[in-house]
Structure 1
Amino acid sequence: MKHRIAIVADRLGWEERRLIEAAPAAGIDAEWVNDESLGLGHRDAPAVRDHDLLLIRSRSYTRGGLAATLAEADGARVLNTASAIHTCENKLALRAVLRAAEIPVPDFRLVLSRKDYGRALEELGAPLVLKPVHGGMGKRVALVRDPDLAHSLYDYVEDLGHAFEQACLAEEYLGGGSVRCLVIGREIAAAAEFESAGTDWRSNAALGNRSRALGQDPEVRKVVDGVVDLLGPGIYGVDLFRTPDGYLVNEVNHAPAWRGVDSTTEADIASSVLRYVQEVLG
């Protein structure tokens, strides 16, 4: 029996195209379903009724978790689970649960006001990274190098952001690059190390930074295992910082982009994702 899956996303990007192209060879009929047209909320929604599984790849800060919650409640199989998506969507919620599980994360502070921001500057010092609680792909992330200019930068947070966007995370700046691990099920399908390119200090694959393949590393494996134990098996992009004291988890993406890792490691990630989908569907 040929399984039919919906790739739920706000747009048809490179990764979604690769999944649709590779699906026939995996014995799967895959189609893109715009997350703006799901019509969820009743048990006979076509997105649930007509598909064996919903692969949630919404890049929205809220759509993915809402769609997964409703689809699961109506009996659909969903990847990733609603619980995992909700945890990953909120950087501070993720940091909190990781730290409670004794999975190493950078030192951080919640910033909801200028008073919070001033305290974070005092306790963490400069340089300091200020980023939105909800967001990804390196957007609206600022490196505060100069304490004298720090509060001028915060003017933009206060004046340009809505209340939802003003919730920020402040963290120590660790410098260097980052490691992106593509996790499928419980396994690391591929890993690459990214370094900032040119004058942009952000080491993010979506920004086109330099990268190199990373071999098997027991320390990376241990940290990633802890993340998967906490969130449950799924499809994740686990971003790590390398420090003299070991690896720290920066973020976990529930709808990871993998073009950079794919090209760096020559891994066929789309086929690996589809094999895992078959596994889940039995």
Structure 2
Amino acid sequence: MGNRVAIVADRVGWEERRLIEAAPEFGLHIDWINDESLCLGDPRARSIEGYDALLVRSRSYTRGGLLATLAESTGVTALNSAAAINACENKLVLRAVLSAAGVPVPDYRLVLSRKDFEKALDELGLPVVLKPVYGGMGKRVTLIRDSDLAQSVYDYVEDLGHAFEQACLVEPYLGGGSIRCLVVGREIVAAAEFESAGADWRSNAALGNQSRALAHDPDVQKIVDAVVDRLGAGIYGVDLFKTPSGYLVNEVNHAPAWRGVASTTGVDIPSAVARHVQEVLA
């Protein structure tokens, strides 16, 4: 039957179904396991018994990182690694890690209070983008163009129930679109440029924005290589901003959706992922 792999996720989406369908061609048998039902901690946890690897695709970064950590502690391979997921789940940690490795990232300020927020506005100037340290898919990311609006927006931040929800980054608004590079192993298997659609200023694949295939760009390749050097080979969605001074890494997603990139580029991404899993387990 070949290697057994469990997709660990809170749902079976388009990407997960395509991976399950592609698996047999690469000597893999892939099952879905709900990430709410593993109850890990026992080294002999029955929920993952018999699996050679866990392909962690939880939409919750925190949940995915915890499960990958426990899987690796029992000797089961986690894709991506717990270290990579833990770096990606926190936007501040990711930027600090990449910046220390010489990877260009946008200017930013960590905001933990209204005093922080006001100082960040003074230092960066308007317009700025306010985004949660934890989160993805463009949610709670706010473009602030007006100083009066800024104070009202921060009223909502202060009313959030938990300190981790209130932790935010403020960064200059760079405008334009973004580039999503789908990385498998160490290679960019597909890349697309996304533009904001309609009245929504955000350029994010999860929002259904318009996109076009991106030709090979040595500058993009150099930055993605540096990201993978730091995080390790894996399956990533690397999001870049294009600026007059060059490309900047905005985010790295450890469990990327790729339906939009696949439809834009025509690349068989599920087969590329299955091949990578096969190579890791060989």
- TM-score using structure 2 length: 0.98
Q: Confirm whether residue 216 of structure 1 aligns to residue 249 of structure 2.
A: no
Greater shift, 48-57 or 181-190, is seen at 48-57
2:259 maps to amino acid? R
Shift of 1:161: 4.2
Q: Which residue of 2 aligns with 1:192?
A: 192
Q: Which residue of 1 aligns with 2:51?
A: 51
1:107 maps to amino acid? D
Q: Which residue of 2 aligns with 1:266?
A: 266
Shift of 1:134: 0.5
Which secondary structure state, in structure 2, belongs to the residue aligned with residue 219 of structure 1? helix
Q: Deviations over 1:90-146 (max 9, x none)?
A: 000000011111100000000101010001100111110000001000001000011
Q: Confirm whether residue 165 of structure 1 aligns to residue 165 of structure 2.
A: yes
Q: Deviations over 1:167-190 (max 9, x none)?
A: 001111100000000000000010
Shift of 1:55: 0.4
1:103 maps to amino acid? V
Q: Which residue of 1 aligns with 2:5?
A: 5
Shift of 1:12: 1.0
Provide structure 2 residue ranges, at least 5 long, that are not aligned to the other structure. none
1:38 maps to amino acid? L
2:18 maps to amino acid? R
Q: Which residue of 1 aligns with 2:18?
A: 18
Distance 1:188 1:243 in 2: 21
Aligned-residue identity in percent = 73
Q: Confirm whether residue 84 of structure 1 aligns to residue 81 of structure 2.
A: no
Which secondary structure state, in structure 2, belongs to the residue aligned with residue 191 of structure 1? strand
Distance 2:7 2:253 in 1: 16
Distance 1:47 1:234 in 2: 24
1:114 maps to amino acid? R
- TM-score using structure 1 length: 0.98
Are the equivalent residues in 1 in contact too, given 2:61–2:85 (CA < 8 A)?
no
2:266 maps to amino acid? E
Are the equivalent residues in 2 in contact too, given 1:48–1:74 (CA < 8 A)?
no
Q: Which residue of 2 aligns with 1:42?
A: 42
Which secondary structure state, in structure 2, belongs to the residue aligned with residue 62 of structure 1? helix
Q: Which residue of 1 aligns with 2:230?
A: 230
Which secondary structure state, in structure 1, belongs to the residue aligned with residue 165 of structure 2? coil
Distance 2:72 2:248 in 1: 32
Which secondary structure state, in structure 2, belongs to the residue aligned with residue 58 of structure 1? coil
Shift of 1:164: 1.7
Distance 1:175 1:161, change over 3 A: farther
Shift of 1:47: 3.6
Q: Deviations over 1:60-115 (max 9, x none)?
A: 13100000000101111110000000000000000001111110000000010101
Shift of 1:25: 1.9
Q: Deviations over 1:219-248 (max 9, x none)?
A: 000000000000000000000000111100
Which secondary structure state, in structure 2, belongs to the residue aligned with residue 164 of structure 1? helix
2:166 maps to amino acid? Q
Are the equivalent residues in 2 in contact too, given 1:6–1:47 (CA < 8 A)?
no
Aligned length: 282
Are the equivalent residues in 1 in contact too, given 2:195–2:203 (CA < 8 A)?
yes
Distance 2:50 2:169 in 1: 40
The correspondence of residues 60-139 of structure 1 with structure 2, limited to 5 A, is 60-139=60-139
Q: Deviations over 1:47-66 (max 9, x none)?
A: 43220100000111310000
Distance 1:163 1:252 in 2: 23
1:78 maps to amino acid? A
1:231 maps to amino acid? L
